[in-house]
């Protein structure tokens, strides 16, 4: 509760900004309330790993703030979202000494929008996992039930928003890292079209264009308004999204056409099991869409799901190897096995054993799938799947078993990624690592926008998301649809812990 008696968590970010604009509350008061809630819940959740309280207080008190989010506190993700003078570690002990030399364009745009940065959120090392349990900082826990993961890699951001610390938090998505924690924490999570949001000036692409920065939010309109702030034609960037000259926030309030076409699938691209609750979330949403006057058909995407997963893993291995190699710039020496987590080192070895030929062939699969999906969307406006194949796992449940840890350590010392590949470890990683989250990678590789909406709560009281994918450049219809669903009784809002 803010000093003036206004219930902080009754408002989304735009609602808080409106209070500031009308002088019903001061930015400093919003910052202090955010800090109070962080201090109250962070000991249990471990969502925030770097606090920027004094800087936020000073900015709130000394600056004549402008912009659509003037005076609203937010948290940043501890990877890529670099702010000059602040540590950013990507969840790794190897980067504890790294201080950002300049603001990224992402930071510049959010600051101009009036947002106040109160800290950074926890991530798995190098944002590699769909859970947030880095060795350096310890696990982040889900506000709905602290025995469970909030997902990853934007798990700290999701836990922070779902617990009411801030109304929105920085996130990025290279294989589902916005949508997975959104699904696990009952939040709205949109991955924009490739090239829609800024990547510079430190790089022209993240994960070969698979990774895109945005936010996790409680409300659809906050996500839309932030995308209005972030959308850009960045001259130095490797990719540019189809232009959109309108306002995404205006789109949210524009009634949606009836009779749109939806395809849905309940089948895992890995041909593995999908939990009944995740299927139920989709089927319940399908019935709702039909009742709203839309046309829905069960139809799988026309892509080779296993090839998509394999090409994603080729990217994954290569990017990890490159990240480990680049640690030399920070450490002043080549990285050693003990500088990173054992599983990270293992993935790096696989990256070193991946040829340029394999990498290029993997990228070609992206392009094949992109054209296949464009053709698919000439008939269907949306493609629906579960966001994840299973509800959240328990903390520690996905830790490598004792024998797996021994294998990782032995192979790490031998240093042979080729040996691992011959042993079939790539197929094993595909099946075990992505078995729970096989649906999200497609949109990253094709560059399409995709969103997770909170449409179901399991019998165990845990959120379960539904994913919608649209054609490239079509964030507007995703926002329209999400706004329509947000008005229904099926929308399962975040569980705030005040």
Catalytic positions, written as ranges: 77, 153, 177
Mapped onto helix, strand or coil, the DSSP state of residue 418 is helix
The enclosing H or E element of 414 equals helix 402-414
The DSSP bridge pattern shows strands 382-386 and 168-173 to be unpaired
Token reading at 253: 């309030």
DSSP string, 71-101: T-EEEEETTT---TTSB--TT-GGGTT-B-S
Tell me the backbone φ, ψ of residue 305, rounded to 5 degrees. -60, -40
**CA separation for the pair 487, 489 (Å, rounded):** 7
Mapped onto helix, strand or coil, the DSSP state of residue 52 is coil
Beta carbons within 8 Å of 234's beta carbon, 6+ residues apart: 105, 195, 198, 199, 200, 240
**CA separation for the pair 83, 211 (Å, rounded):** 19
Residue 465 contacts residue 113 (beta carbons within 8 Å): no
**CA separation for the pair 295, 285 (Å, rounded):** 12
CA distances from 431 to 270, 280, 301, 353, 389 (A): 7, 23, 20, 20, 12
**CA separation for the pair 379, 486 (Å, rounded):** 25
CA distances from 334 to 149, 179, 323, 351 (A): 33, 34, 12, 16
Residue 244 contacts residue 230 (beta carbons within 8 Å): no
Token reading at 394: 């328990």
Residue 251 contacts residue 228 (beta carbons within 8 Å): no
Find where tokens 């328990």 sit. Answer: 394
Residue 19 contacts residue 52 (beta carbons within 8 Å): no
Put residue 292 in one of left, alpha, beta given phi > 0 → left and psi -120 to 50 → alpha: alpha
Mapped onto helix, strand or coil, the DSSP state of residue 340 is coil
DSSP string, 97-157: T-B-SS--HHHHHHHHTT-EEEEEE--SGGG-SSS---TTT----BTTBTTB---SSSHHH
CB contact burial 472-498 (16+ within 10 A = b; e otherwise): bbbbbbbbbbbbbbbeeebbbebbbbe
Q: Shortest CA distance to 154 belongs to which of 230, 207, 224, 75?
A: 75
Find where tokens 């269907």 sit. Answer: 380
**CA separation for the pair 212, 195 (Å, rounded):** 7
């Amino acid at each position: 509760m803010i000093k003036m008696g206004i219930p902080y968590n009754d408002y989304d970010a735009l609602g808080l900004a409106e209070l500031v604009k009308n002088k019903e509350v001061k930015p400093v008061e919003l910052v202090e309330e955010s800090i109070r809630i962080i201090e109250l819940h962070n000991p249990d959740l471990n969502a925030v790993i770097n606090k920027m309280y004094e800087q936020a207080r000073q900015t709130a008190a000394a600056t004549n703030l402008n912009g659509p989010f003037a005076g609203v506190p937010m948290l940043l993700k501890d990877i890529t979202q670099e702010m000059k003078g602040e540590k950013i570690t990507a969840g790794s002990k190897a980067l504890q000494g790294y201080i950002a030399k300049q603001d990224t364009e992402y930071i510049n745009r959010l600051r101009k929008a009036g947002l106040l940065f109160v800290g950074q959120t926890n991530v798995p090392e190098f944002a590699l996992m769909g859970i947030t349990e880095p060795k350096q900082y310890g696990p982040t826990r889900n506000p709905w039930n602290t025995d469970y993961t909030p997902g990853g890699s934007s798990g700290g951001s999701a836990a922070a928003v779902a617990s009411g610390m801030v109304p929105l938090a920085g996130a990025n998505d290279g294989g589902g890292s916005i949508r997975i924690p959104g699904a696990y924490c009952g939040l709205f999570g949109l991955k924009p079209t490739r090239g829609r949001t800024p990547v510079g000036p430190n790089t022209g692409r993240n994960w070969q264009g698979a990774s895109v920065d945005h936010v996790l939010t409680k409300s659809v309109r906050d996500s839309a308004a932030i995308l209005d702030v972030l959308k850009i034609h960045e001259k130095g960037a490797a990719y540019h999204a189809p232009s959109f000259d309108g306002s995404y926030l205006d789109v949210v309030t524009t009634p949606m056409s009836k009779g749109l076409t939806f395809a849905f699938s309940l089948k895992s691209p890995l041909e593995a099991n999908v939990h009944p609750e995740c299927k139920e979330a989709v089927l319940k949403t399908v019935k709702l869409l039909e009742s709203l006057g839309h046309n829905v058909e069960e139809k799988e995407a026309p892509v080779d799901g296993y090839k998509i997963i394999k090409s994603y893993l080729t990217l994954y291995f290569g990017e990890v190897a490159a990240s480990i190699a680049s640690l030399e710039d920070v450490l002043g020496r080549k990285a050693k096995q003990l500088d990173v987590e054992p599983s990270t080192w293992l993935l790096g070895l696989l990256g070193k054993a991946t040829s340029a030929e394999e990498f290029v062939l993997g990228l070609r699969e992206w392009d094949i799938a992109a054209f296949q999906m464009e053709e698919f969307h000439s008939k269907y406006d949306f493609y629906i799947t579960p966001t994840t194949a299973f509800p959240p796992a328990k903390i520690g449940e996905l830790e490598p078993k004792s024998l797996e840890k021994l294998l990782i350590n032995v192979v790490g010392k031998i240093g042979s990624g080729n040996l691992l590949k011959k042993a079939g470890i790539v197929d094993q990683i595909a099946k075990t690592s992505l078995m729970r989250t096989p649906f999200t990678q497609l949109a990253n590789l094709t560059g399409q926008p995709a969103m997770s909406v909170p449409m179901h709560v399991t019998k165990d009281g845990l959120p379960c998301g539904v994913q919608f994918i649209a054609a490239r450049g079509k964030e507007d219809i995703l926002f329209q649809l999400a706004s329509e669903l947000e008005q229904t009784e099926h929308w399962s809002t975040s569980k705030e812990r005040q």
